[in-house]
Amino acid sequence: MALYKLTLRELQERFTKGEVTACEIVQAYTLRLNQLEPKVRAYITPTKEAALVQAEALDEKLKGWRRTMPLMGMPVAVKDNICTQGVLTTCASRMLGNFVPPYDASVIARLRGQSYLLLGKTNLDEFAMGSSTENSAFGPSRNPWNLSRVPGGSSGGSAAAVAADLCAAALGSDTGGSIRQPAACCGVVGLKPTYGRVSRFGLVAFASSLDQIGPITKDVADAAMLLGVIAGHDPLDSTSANLPVPDYAKALKKKDFKKLKVGVPREYFAEGLDPEVEQAVQAAIEEIKQLGAEVKEIALPRTDAAIATYYLIATAEASSNLARYDGVKYGLRSKETGNLLDMYMKTRQEGFGPEVKRRIMLGTYALSAGYCDAFYGKAQAVRTLIRQDFEAAFREVDLIVTPVMPTPAFKLGEKSEDPLQMYLSDIYTISVNLAGNPAIAMPCGFSKAGLPIGLQLIGRPFEEETLLRGAHAYEQVTNWRAKRPNIR
């Protein structure tokens, strides 16, 4: 089997045994990238030449002994809103088109500590604001299952790269579904950890109370392995939880749902859900029952308020976070300006794309004098109620199962002119970010058009072991993960 077809864990095993060198791994992926990247456009900044130099040095270092670290020699892609020292970090925006960070994000420092190999920085919706990767200043990425379809967003480049075997695994970020939704679109596994489980230091901020970094991988075991490396307390992040990191691999040893109670929220199976998606998810629920789970219907009554709540809180925080891009400190500066105020205005006009401008204006309005309490304050109060809904549900069940998105991947350009329809793509994922819970997306079927359909499992805060156990158990009795896009 070609090296690029292997899972992260399988590739690690071969590398550990000395059956393959780091150089051979990079060369295999380089050939794959040269062949398919012009079609998929998953990357903004490929770093395959630098990866080969790193691989040569690593092979020389490893002569006579083998490594024990999980990510050593492994080719990983990183979403381009996560800072990488010495490598462009653009956030898919003209505003940061030439920004080279002088430091690594904490998750990158952890990967570097394991001698991983960076294959490149992946495409995204500008500043992670979108659900299709069409908002990128560098053009859209494409879904490997059908190049006329979106790969999802905002981590669409990372999901497309994993699905097309253009990397062994990738990092994404999830503010309202931006790991899980593209994972569902591309038929791979995407894990959003509990808020605070993974450091946000070095993640370019969109909405600070919602953002979380997580893995996108070919299967659940790979997600567990990568999460185990990047998770943990970080004193550089004030929101990082000072809790021990469990051995997530142990959670995968139980391959059933026995003694687990699983909730199915009635609000997630209502009008607007594509019949093919509903059928695939219901079939997955039946499989979960066969694995020994006690499945019961539950209520998450404030689900209908999640979209409005999210788009007040997220845009308000985006308005505040993106105020730093003013042409003074770093990033783009407009050249033709008359005075300081003119420079601010022209820089932001030239540097930001339409969706980012839209969200900045929405957030600025929500925070403006006379409206802050009515909009932002009310949204925060409703957010508390949404979190309380999840807390009440998890007193009855151990996991919650839902669709990831209402439809399979839609066509490029299909929703570009209708922001509300685009926002509704995240209707099943947004509540999880508002509540801060962990959730995982994984394939559970295909549409008649051959597009992947995703299943979402949601867990209690900081109980990623239970989440991974359930996801792995379902994965083992199905064959969806073995299906790969036929792209050449």
Active site residues: 79, 154, 178
Comparing CA positions, the residue from 50, 154, 136 lying closest to residue 90 is: 136
Report helix, strand or coil for 27: helix
Token pair, residue 252, equals 């995968």
**Chain position carrying tokens 């009635």:** 266
| Cα–Cα distance, 82 to 87 (Å, whole number) | 10
* Tokens 């687990």 -> residue: 260
Contact in structure between 447 and 185 (CB atoms under 8 Å): no
131 prior amide bond cis, ω within 30: no
How many CB atoms sit inside 10 A of residue 294's CB? Answer: 15
Contact 285, 401 (CB under 8 A): yes
Alpha carbon 321 to its chain centroid, in Å, reads 20
The answer to whether the beta carbons of residues 288 and 336 sit under 8 Å apart is no
Distance between CA atoms of residues 166 and 189, nearest Å = 15
Q: What number of residues does the chain have?
A: 488
Question: Which residues does residue 295 pair with via DSSP β-bridges, in sequence order?
Answer: 262
Which amino acid is located at 479 in the chain? N
HSE, side-chain direction, 13 A CA sphere, residue 248: 27
